[in-house]
């Protein structure tokens, strides 16, 4: 599908109710004037006269939010290129990609900018730095000197940030943080034990992924059940502690560290099941090769023990409680899915993540912040995350109020991605194209 550029076109959305997640109020009956890829004007509909030749969209009864970001994805997978349109189809206009072939990712970025490929804007890490061999693109760092050289190499090839993975020693983690700071680069990724989340933050990890290395505060009854969890479940969802954790949460907030919980992935592992299998609604978009890779990634038993499933479910409850406690302590949260590993697949799985965040104690407005205004703050990008003049025209028009029920984010009327308009028929075409490519 070839997309037409809207560089000279003006689109006016009239009579919309605007929801800016950072604002405590909504703005009813508003007009938004978009020229090219930027929002030119926002104001009461009664005060805005559409320019001659503008495309006018009546948004009466509808709700306009900023385009959403999925802050933890892996798009460089088998059959990944046709999956990019699914992000746009779900209102996800930006992603932070956590590992991949940099040349391939940059090529897709160029196609998206040129309008020959539908997809989100991408911030990419390229290969990650790890302390063990991996089948994914990586740089091995077993010593502090190797960690520094890895950062230097990644800076030289022009990655957007440094991704760290598993099995990095505390000394190597610290060396990576120092080298990244020298290059003016951000570090994000896994917290490698024996580092604590606070140790990692102080070594320079700005965004900690999956809640790795966070212990769960557990009651004696919790601990008795969780003792039946498998090693994989305890690795992913943490072990129990009776030690108070509140002081660490406050310290993380003081360090201005972001946490990307990726609760949807953990919920699947709680039940020891592969999240996406042939025949389910997500699998229609995935090639056989990708489905096989997902099954291999998890290496789960065909018939998990009931005690392990019960333990995993209790662990996941503690994970939800942890996220709620982090939020109440003022720790900054980012919405991310680890797509394509999560039910719903690229784009659509982000709504499930928002629902889990609400279950953890965030309000719908606060959950929306994790995928709109918080990514803008994380990137220090004042052109993103708001429906206001001068911002990039990344917008999602909804048929129902997401502040009443965050699941209403699924009810999309249209998406504007960098000023390109995708109406209902265009969004369906993106889904059809992904299904065809998978088969």
* CA–CA gap between residue 85 and residue 57 (Å, rounded): 23
pLDDT band with cut points at 50, 70 and 90 for residue 1:
very low
Give pLDDT tens digits for 256-288: 999 999 999 999 889 898 888 888 899 999 999
Give pLDDT tens digits for 41-75: 999 999 999 999 999 999 999 999 999 999 999 99
For every residue of 76-124, DSSP letters joined together read: -STTHHHHHHHHHHTTEEEEEE-S--HHHHHHHHHHHHHTSS---EEEE
Give pLDDT tens digits for 204-238: 999 999 999 999 999 999 999 999 999 989 999 99
Give pLDDT tens digits for 85-143: 999 999 999 999 999 999 999 999 999 999 999 999 999 999 999 999 988 899 999 99
Fold match flag (10-65+386-438 vs 68-378): no
* CA–CA gap between residue 140 and residue 158 (Å, rounded): 18
* CA–CA gap between residue 219 and residue 380 (Å, rounded): 40
Sheet containing strand 121-124, strands side by side:
68-73, 92-97, 121-124
Question: Tokens 């391939």 appear where?
Answer: 104
* CA–CA gap between residue 140 and residue 408 (Å, rounded): 43
Cα 69 to Cα 65, 281, 369: the distances in Å are 12, 23, 10
Q: Spelled out in words, what is the top-level CATH class assigned to the domain 10-65+386-438?
A: mainly beta
**Domain limits of the chain?**
10-65+386-438, 68-378
The proportion of the chain whose per-residue pLDDT surpasses 70, expressed as a percent, equals 98
pLDDT band with cut points at 50, 70 and 90 for residue 8:
low
Cα 397 to Cα 65, 90, 417: the distances in Å are 7, 11, 12
* Mean pLDDT across 400-406: 98
* CA–CA gap between residue 243 and residue 138 (Å, rounded): 36
* CA–CA gap between residue 431 and residue 428 (Å, rounded): 5
Which pLDDT score is estimated for 5? Answer: 43
Which pLDDT score is estimated for 293? Answer: 86
pLDDT band with cut points at 50, 70 and 90 for residue 3:
very low
Neighbours of 425 (CB within 10 A): 7
Mean pLDDT of the chain: 95
18: alpha, beta or left? (left if phi > 0; alpha if psi -120 to 50): beta
Which pLDDT score is estimated for 6? Answer: 46
* CA–CA gap between residue 142 and residue 130 (Å, rounded): 8
For every residue of 180-223, DSSP letters joined together read: HHHHT--EEEPPPTTS-HHHHHHTTEEEEETTTTPPEE--HHHH
pLDDT band with cut points at 50, 70 and 90 for residue 4:
very low
Cα 354 to Cα 380, 413, 419: the distances in Å are 22, 19, 25
Kindly report the backbone phi and psi dihedral angles of residue 84, in degrees, each rounded to the nearest multiple of 5, phi listed first: -60, -35
* 3-class SS of residue 279: coil
Span 68-378: which CATH code? Answer: 3.20.20.140
């Amino acid at each position: 599908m070839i997309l037409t550029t809207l560089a000279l076109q003006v689109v006016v959305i009239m009579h919309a109710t605007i929801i800016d997640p950072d604002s405590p109020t909504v703005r009813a009956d508003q007009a938004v004037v978009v020229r090219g890829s930027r929002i030119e004007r926002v104001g009461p509909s009664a005060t805005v006269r559409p320019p001659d030749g503008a495309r006018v969209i009546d948004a009466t009864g509808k709700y306009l939010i900023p385009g959403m970001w999925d802050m933890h994805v892996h798009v460089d997978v088998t059959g990944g290129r046709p999956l990019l349109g699914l992000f746009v189809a779900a209102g996800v206009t930006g992603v932070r990609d956590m590992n991949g072939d940099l040349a391939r990712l940059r090529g897709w970025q160029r196609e998206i900018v040129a309008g020959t490929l539908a997809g989100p804007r991408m911030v990419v890490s390229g290969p990650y730095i790890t302390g063990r061999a991996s089948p994914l693109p990586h740089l091995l760092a077993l010593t502090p000197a190797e960690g520094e050289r890895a950062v230097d190499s990644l800076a030289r090839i022009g990655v957007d940030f440094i991704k760290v993975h598993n099995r990095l020693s505390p000394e190597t983690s610290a060396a990576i943080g120092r080298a990244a700071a020298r290059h003016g680069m951000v570090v994000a990724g896994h917290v490698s034990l024996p580092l604590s989340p606070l140790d990692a933050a102080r070594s320079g990890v700005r965004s900690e992924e999956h809640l790795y290395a966070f212990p769960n505060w557990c009651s004696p009854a919790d601990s008795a059940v969780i003792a039946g969890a498998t090693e994989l479940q305890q690795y992913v969802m943490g072990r129990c502690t009776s030690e108070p954790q509140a002081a660490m949460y406050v310290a993380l907030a003081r360090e201005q560290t972001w946490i990307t919980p990726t609760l949807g992935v953990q919920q699947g592992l709680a039940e020891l099941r592969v999240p996406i299998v042939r025949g389910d609604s997500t699998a229609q978009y995935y090639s056989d090769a990708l489905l096989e890779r997902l099954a291999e990634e998890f290496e789960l038993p065909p018939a998990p023990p009931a005690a392990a499933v019960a333990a995993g479910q209790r662990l996941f409850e503690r994970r939800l409680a942890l996220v709620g406690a982090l939020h109440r302590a003022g720790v900054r949260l980012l919405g991310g899915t680890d797509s394509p590993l999560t039910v719903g697949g690229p784009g659509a799985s982000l709504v499930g993540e928002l629902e889990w965040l609400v279950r953890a104690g965030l309000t719908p407005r606060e959950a929306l912040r994790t995928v709109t205004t918080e990514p803008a703050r994380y990137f220090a990008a004042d052109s993103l995350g708001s429906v206001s003049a001068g911002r990039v025209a990344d917008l999602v028009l909804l048929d129902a109020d997401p502040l009443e029920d965050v699941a209403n984010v699924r009810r999309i009327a249209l998406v504007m991605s960098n000023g390109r308009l995708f109406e209902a028929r265009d969004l369906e075409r993106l889904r059809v194209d992904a299904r065809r490519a998978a088969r």
